[in-house]
Amino acid sequence: MNSSNDAELQPLRDRLIDLSRRCGQIKDAKRRACLRHLTATERTEILRKTGAKCHICGGDIRGPWNADHVMAHSAGGKNSTDNYLPAHSTCNNYRWDYLTEELELILKLGVWVRTQVEKGTIVGRGIEQRFSAYEVTRISRRKSVKKGKVYKKRLQVECAAQGP
């Protein structure tokens, strides 16, 4: 049995903990590069690479966007236009700086969870209730909510910008 099969059989919780530990080790081993602001010319060059599409979800980019590192700072990525791709802020925030294997597992879990919720299984109903409660708490902690801005409107704008 090869190591990829071993990883598939490893209990999910153990795999997630191991991936998180490995990511932390990479971060500790690499010194974070100094951040600098990109020029308007550099941002235009980065946006052209994908034809103004988010490199994560493929949706059109209309309005504010993030220059996402192809190779994360924590993994030794540089601040050069070659190491950036355009991404919606929401997509980039959810991708964070997970290892490729870790993000793949998160996406697989998300697809499975969605199926459970859509089918109305016991697991799906439990996740739906807990996630809804979590979202209410998370949204209430956002600075925009605390400052009295309407978060719902901002979310609608972000969703509209990302397309279907």
Of 85 and 9, the one with more pLDDT: 85
Tens-digit pLDDT profile for residues 54-84? 998 889 999 999 998 888 776 778 888 999 9
3-state SS track over 110-151: HHHHHHHHHHCCHHHHHHHHHHHHHHHHHHHHCHHHHCCCCH
Dump pLDDT digits (tens) for 77-129.
888 899 999 999 988 888 777 776 887 898 899 999 999 999 999 999 999 99
Residue 162: pLDDT over 70: no
For the chain, the structural domain boundaries read 99-164
Lowest mean pLDDT among 131-135, 136-140, 153-157: 153-157
pTM over 0.85: no
Going by pLDDT thresholds of 50, 70 and 90, the confidence category of residue 5 is: low
Evaluate whether 90 touches 111 at the Cβ level (below 8 Å): no
The reported pLDDT for the residue numbered 29 is: 53
Mean pLDDT for the stretch of residues 27-54: 80
Mean pLDDT across the chain: 79
* Contact (Cβ atoms closer than 8 angstroms) between residue 55 and residue 87: yes
Residues 6+ apart with CB under 8 A from 50: 85, 86
How many Cα atoms within 13 Å fall on the side-chain side of residue 68? 24
Report which listed range, 6-10, 33-37, 72-76, 116-120, is most confident.
116-120
85 with 46: CB under 8 angstroms? Answer: yes
Q: What is the mean pLDDT of residues 128-151?
A: 76
Residue 46 has pLDDT above 90, yes or no: yes
pLDDT at 13 (0 to 100): 84
* 3-class secondary structure, 38: coil
Q: Which residue has the tokens 């998300």?
A: 110
- Specify the amino acid at residue 102: E
